[in-house]
Structure 1
Amino acid sequence: MRTLTAEAQEQVSKVPREKKLLEESLRQSIRLGKLREKAFNNLITVERQLKKSEARFKSIAMATREGIIIIDSESRIQFWNPAAEKILGYTSADVADQNIHELLVPERLRSIANQHFNRFVVQYGKDFESWTKHLLTG
């Protein structure tokens, strides 16, 4: 059986190793904290850039004489500018979140329009965030 002194010496000999482990753990925590802070600052920067980009897009879309309609992958209207209102006769409030095919495509052609749109989304949806169709005015 070991004596109390031998046990105490063993415990004392562990202190430098434990201190070293604690110091390394603290250094890693500090590094992680710095990485988190950097990631958070990057996120804030990206969010600001996105807001600027959205504001720029909106100002252009609201000022242009071209009708701009943005729909999601389920054919629901997400954006409808004043020119689209003028061209098509519906306000953006009237069409928000409506299915564009139900709104603009004659009933007898909706099924075909939906099939083609769904095929487009399946085939190209992963490659394109959005796509453009121009409505030309005479």
Structure 2
Amino acid sequence: MEPLTEDEYKNINNISSVAAQEVIELSKEKWLWMAEKKVDVLTDLFHDNAVFVHMGGSWGKEKELDIIQSGGIHYKQADIHEVSVNIIDDTAILLNRITLLAVVGGNEVTNPFMVTEVYKRQESEWKLASLSFTKLLN
């Protein structure tokens, strides 16, 4: 093992920050696609083995897509207050502090959440592997 030159080290940081920005932008788009019920685009984004954790339970990709398409949960608007992302090899862990306006079971509700999104890079694309909502008390 040889030490990295300063330029090599800076390049690693730039690659990581570019990947982080890609994931942040993808996450923002995902909230819009969910609001617009764009199941075709979400089908491609969600990893086949993805898991989704909500206040009412947890399930896989197909059930999440069915819920979005049917309006069982309509993600009307996600106001993002804070975002951070950590890249570990080909995995990105993104945290969003949001206020979510949604329609659940026919009732419009607003909740503050910390949302954990895990993305896995497959070939040249990021795939959403996990989406978990944690309701905040404040």
Question: What range describes the TM-score normalised by the shorter chain of this pair?
Answer: 0.3 to 0.5
Which is strand-richer, 1 or 2?
A: 2
Which is helix-richer, 1 or 2?
A: 1
TM-score normalised by structure 2 residue count: 0.34
Q: Which has the larger radius of gyration?
A: 1
Query: Which one has more relative contact order, counting CA pairs under 8 Å at least 6 apart?
Result: 2
TM-score normalised by structure 1 residue count: 0.34
